[in-house]
Structure 1
Amino acid sequence: MNFLHISKEALSIALAYVGVLVGAGLSSGQDMLQYFLCFGQMGILGVVLLGILNIIFGRIIVTLGSHYQSSNHQDVLEQITHPVINRIIDITLVISCFVVGFVMVAGAGANLQQQFGIASWLGALVCSLAVIVVSFMDFEKITRILGIFTPIIVVMIMSLACYTFWDKSYDYAYLDTLAGTMEPTMPNIWLSVINYFALCAMNGVSMAFVLGGSVIRIGDAEKGGALGGTIIGLIVACAAVTLFANLDKVKDAEIPMLLIVNNIHPGVAVVYAMVIFALIFNTAFSLYYATARRFAGNNLKKMRYLLICIVAVGYICSFGGFTKLVYYMYPLLGYMGILLLVVLTVAWIQERENIIREKFLRRKMMRLLFRKYDDDYEFTAQNKRTFQKLGEMSAADTEDLKKDIKAYVEEVVEKTDDLQGYAKEKLSMKGSPLKKE
């Protein structure tokens, strides 16, 4: 897969995918400590394997979303698995949203306590009340504003890694020995990698399917998902090596990354703490909202009532403490998420030929529609019938697909003078399994 020739659409999907997966958990550093760095230098190998899984499943999840043109996770799961398993995964996703939601609230309290000395229960309460207040506002605009904190935290983590290793050396044998004094969440690094990635997939799969569903060209979805997974792998690696180099200072901290920043400059730490709080709030709100929406549907009044109840129960659960909740709840959710990874893997193997066929089917529909806008070609009645027939052959909804392809073609027409040149370069039919009309 050549990332040097990636389209703007694929790059946009990659960055959006990073925003879905990179959030409060990674920026705090607690996940990395308990899942990976407690295994010492072997934990770094685990982080590398985690990066590889991000690339593989990033491609799989976003591509499946595009293949079925999904608007929610059910659009995909209904197609790729048995109704009973689908129901189990659906319930698991709801449980995951609620549990990670109250763990995030606990993290909000721990974050403000560590940086500003505010009681953890008060910080958690502020976060919980903010979730409720925003649910009565135009929260789509607010969450878009909060979205700017994702690239900020990415830049800060990568800058921390550069600062940590610039003209410095560390006693890695000592750090490896020190890691052995920490209590891991998993019995070995291999299970830790699978469990943690399954947890991440549980948290991000619903939105990742929707991201894929917004992409009409399957090739863009494949590249976007894989590139997004690659970027996530690099960010996770930067966070992990930074934490490992500072393990003697941060191994007992609730928010270890924040402690590292504090040791660099207290002023920067204040900014970092506020960014973490914004990410935690954004994650908690998104998860609680998804849980309430799952049961309330489009009934806004019912959704808000349920959200208040869910937040109240979540606030009580957050008193378990951030570090302890991560230690006990995340592995449980990870085990539940392994079923999702199995389903996705089997679906990818079984649907691979159909996905390739769908990719060329859509390309052919686009090429046919180009004739309608190209003065050198004629869009005949036969072309119109073929366009309709191809739409009916698609795995996606026929009318929705036709509408999306028309919108895509019209956008290309506005930006491109040489439609046939565009088709030859971007919509090649070489290797197509479709019969020639």
Structure 2
Amino acid sequence: MNQEYTARGIAKYAGAFIAWMIGSGFASGQETLQFFTSYGLASYTAIGLNFIGTLFFGVVFVETGYRNRELSPFNHFLYFCGNRAGRFYSGLIAVIVFLLMAVLISGAGATLQEYYGLNHLAGSLLMAAAVLAAYLSGFERLIFVISKVGPAVIAFTLAVGVITAVRDWGDLSMASSQAAVLSPLRTSPHWGISSLLYLSLNFLSGGAYFTQLGVSAEREKDVTYGMIVGIVVLMAAIAIVNTAFLLNAQPMAELSIPILYLAEKISHPLGAAFSIILILGIFSSCSSMMWTVCSRFSFSEKRTQQLFAAGVAAGAFFIGLLPFTKLISVFYPLVGYAGILLLLMVVRKVLREKDERTPAPSKPE
């Protein structure tokens, strides 16, 4: 009898999920800062709501992919949204994820320039080339590589967050008042809306990748439990980093890469090491997004597919020459708003399937 799940399988898919999520937005701290910390102590409620939503949608997406793995290719937009809305999202997602890739490549260029003095253009070009090489290696090899990177980034981020929180814990009573300086960074007028935007941002941009994790899984429980473990670890990291930011709210408002500031505050060598970790995080998310964009298009010849992928990498590189923080503050919330309808359609589909599985009550004789 085959095992229902394995520890290695769970770790593999947990790492693959985390690898998508970390990116330059999370690893730099900008996502946590703008979507959560800027709301002060209410940020913890927002994180809690996001945790519940991410658990629900994460499990739905990977299990849907697994149960439809015989369909090649499987389009989750058509499955959840129907023909008309599904085709609209299928076209939209390629553009959205392509632009998200450009944001990450911009983050890579900014980090390499800030810490190593490398020209922004050269740093962005190196990242675009590495991402293209990862895509050309194939999806299974891509998952193997980035699933190793994700946990390393999370572990390092957790270490910086925990050390900062423990060291500065005595200032927690002042955190709420100090957080007011972060209010201009808010993505929306209310923390509840911001939490929803972060949820929809992740599942609109990452839905194809998450369902593909399910499609590629040998065992359903491997990918389901892996998703759950990955979500728990990610949300714990967000909560800890959020605490560290609240305890250092004043300087956070001025920084492009706030988590790097905290690492530097602990020690300069730690800051330098974290710059490398940040680059790895950008690479892992960017590689996943590259696959999502290219999977939207099918070509009969492998050579044509490879040339198309090279064009995608080149386009993202040129857009990525724009300023990193501005790209995040403007583009990420807009993607979140575009994804709200998708989440509603997923909930509707789940409820309909539940009704279809529920047997009708037997009639009395």
Relative to the length of structure 1, the TM-score reads: 0.72
- Decide whether the 8 Å contact of 1:64 with 1:209 is kept in 2: yes
**1:249 aligned to 2:254?**
no
| Counterpart position of 1:371 | none
Distance in structure 2 (CA, Å) of the matches to 1:306 and 1:242: 42
| Counterpart position of 2:34 | 34
**1:268 aligned to 2:255?**
no
More moved, 115-124 vs 27-36:
115-124
Q: Assess, with a 3 A threshold, how the Cα gap between structure 1 residues 322 and 140 changes in structure 2: closer, same or farther.
A: same
- Decide whether the 8 Å contact of 2:209 with 2:288 is kept in 1: no
| Counterpart position of 2:102 | 102
**1:237 aligned to 2:232?**
no
Distance in structure 1 (CA, Å) of the matches to 2:356 and 2:217: 17
Q: Assess, with a 3 A threshold, how the Cα gap between structure 1 residues 120 and 174 changes in structure 2: closer, same or farther.
A: farther
Q: How does 1:181-196 map to 2 (within 5 A)?
A: 181-182=181-182, 183=184, 184-196=186-198
- Decide whether the 8 Å contact of 1:14 with 1:225 is kept in 2: yes
> Shift in Å at residue 261 of structure 1?
0.8
- Decide whether the 8 Å contact of 1:108 with 1:280 is kept in 2: yes
Q: Assess, with a 3 A threshold, how the Cα gap between structure 1 residues 236 and 299 changes in structure 2: closer, same or farther.
A: farther
**Aligned alpha-carbon RMSD (Å):** 3.0
Q: How does 1:168-183 map to 2 (within 5 A)?
A: 168-172=168-172, 174-182=174-182, 183=184
- Decide whether the 8 Å contact of 1:292 with 1:304 is kept in 2: no
Q: Assess, with a 3 A threshold, how the Cα gap between structure 1 residues 64 and 353 changes in structure 2: closer, same or farther.
A: farther
Q: Give the partner amino acid of 1:259.
A: Y
Q: Give the partner amino acid of 1:273.
A: S
- Decide whether the 8 Å contact of 2:53 with 2:199 is kept in 1: yes
> Shift in Å at residue 279 of structure 1?
2.1
- Decide whether the 8 Å contact of 1:71 with 1:210 is kept in 2: no
Q: Give the partner amino acid of 2:61.
A: I
| Counterpart position of 1:123 | 123
**1:228 aligned to 2:230?**
yes
| Counterpart position of 1:200 | 202
Q: How does 1:1-400 map to 2 (within 5 A)?
A: 8=7, 13-69=13-69, 74-132=74-132, 141=141, 144-166=144-166, 168-172=168-172, 174-182=174-182, 183=184, 184-215=186-217, 222-297=224-299, 299-352=301-354
Distance in structure 1 (CA, Å) of the matches to 2:283 and 2:352: 39
- Decide whether the 8 Å contact of 2:132 with 2:290 is kept in 1: no
In structure 2, stretches of 5+ residues that fail to align are none
- Decide whether the 8 Å contact of 1:52 with 1:233 is kept in 2: no
Q: Assess, with a 3 A threshold, how the Cα gap between structure 1 residues 298 and 19 changes in structure 2: closer, same or farther.
A: farther
Distance in structure 1 (CA, Å) of the matches to 2:310 and 2:24: 22
> Shift in Å at residue 146 of structure 1?
4.2
Q: Give the partner amino acid of 1:237.
A: A
Q: Assess, with a 3 A threshold, how the Cα gap between structure 1 residues 66 and 355 changes in structure 2: closer, same or farther.
A: farther
More moved, 104-113 vs 136-145:
136-145
Q: Assess, with a 3 A threshold, how the Cα gap between structure 1 residues 210 and 70 changes in structure 2: closer, same or farther.
A: farther
In structure 1, stretches of 5+ residues that fail to align are 358-432
- Decide whether the 8 Å contact of 2:12 with 2:144 is kept in 1: no
Distance in structure 1 (CA, Å) of the matches to 2:77 and 2:51: 25
Q: Give the partner amino acid of 2:315.
A: V
Q: Give the partner amino acid of 2:232.
A: T
Distance in structure 1 (CA, Å) of the matches to 2:322 and 2:170: 35
Deviations 1:146-183 (A, max 9, x none): 43221111211222232123354243454333332331
- Decide whether the 8 Å contact of 1:72 with 1:210 is kept in 2: no
* Structure whose alpha-carbon radius of gyration is higher: 1
Q: Give the partner amino acid of 1:258.
A: L
Q: Assess, with a 3 A threshold, how the Cα gap between structure 1 residues 219 and 279 changes in structure 2: closer, same or farther.
A: closer
> Shift in Å at residue 75 of structure 1?
4.1
> Shift in Å at residue 40 of structure 1?
1.4
> Shift in Å at residue 267 of structure 1?
1.8
More moved, 276-285 vs 30-39:
276-285
- Decide whether the 8 Å contact of 2:264 with 2:271 is kept in 1: yes
- Decide whether the 8 Å contact of 2:10 with 2:225 is kept in 1: yes
How many positions carry a matched residue from both structures?
Answer: 354
> Shift in Å at residue 258 of structure 1?
1.3
Task: Give secondary structure in 2 for the equivalent of 1:187.
Answer: coil
| Counterpart position of 1:388 | none
Q: Give the partner amino acid of 1:203.
A: S
Higher RCO (Cα < 8 Å, 6 or more apart) = 2
- Decide whether the 8 Å contact of 1:51 with 1:236 is kept in 2: no
Q: Give the partner amino acid of 1:44.
A: Y
Q: Give the partner amino acid of 2:270.
A: V
Distance in structure 1 (CA, Å) of the matches to 2:230 and 2:78: 25
Task: Give secondary structure in 2 for the equivalent of 1:180.
Answer: helix
Distance in structure 2 (CA, Å) of the matches to 1:12 and 1:129: 25
Q: Give the partner amino acid of 1:255.
A: I
Distance in structure 2 (CA, Å) of the matches to 1:55 and 1:167: 31
Q: Assess, with a 3 A threshold, how the Cα gap between structure 1 residues 136 and 343 changes in structure 2: closer, same or farther.
A: closer
Distance in structure 2 (CA, Å) of the matches to 1:126 and 1:315: 9
- Decide whether the 8 Å contact of 1:37 with 1:179 is kept in 2: yes
